[in-house]
Amino acid sequence: MNLKISKIKNEKNEYEFYFEKLGHWDMFDILAKLILEQTDIKVNKKVDGIAVREWKFIGKDISFYLMHDDQLGNYLLSDNEVYHSDVERLANIILNKILTSFC
């Protein structure tokens, strides 16, 4: 499986880290579980809609969103430039965990 993270800077200068080939709705729960298992980060807010899910995670020195959009897939959204590199590092840690555990 050719899994990777794609990094995109959006129009608001936020960074989106897409989990390519892991965009299915059910993968959201696996990604959320891995984030919670691998870190001391907690879920601060949950929005679970019909086609969109948005969970805000907050930790000691980090905050970000785990997002799902039926058209875009699953991704981490870093809305604070102070945390961009930490969120990117976390995305890669989660991807490596998936590669070593499930592939």
Sequence-separated contacts (24+) of 87-92 with Cβ below 8 Å: 87/15, 87/17, 87/62, 88/5, 88/7, 88/15, 88/17, 90/35, 90/38, 90/39, 90/62, 90/64, 91/5, 91/17, 91/19, 92/5
- Global confidence as pTM: 0.93
Sorted by where each starts, the structural domains of the chain and their CATH numbers stand as 4-102 (3.30.310)
* Secondary structure E strands in the chain: 4-9, 15-20, 42-48, 52-59, 62-69, 73-78
pLDDT in tens, 46-85: 999 999 999 999 999 999 999 999 999 999 999 999 999 9
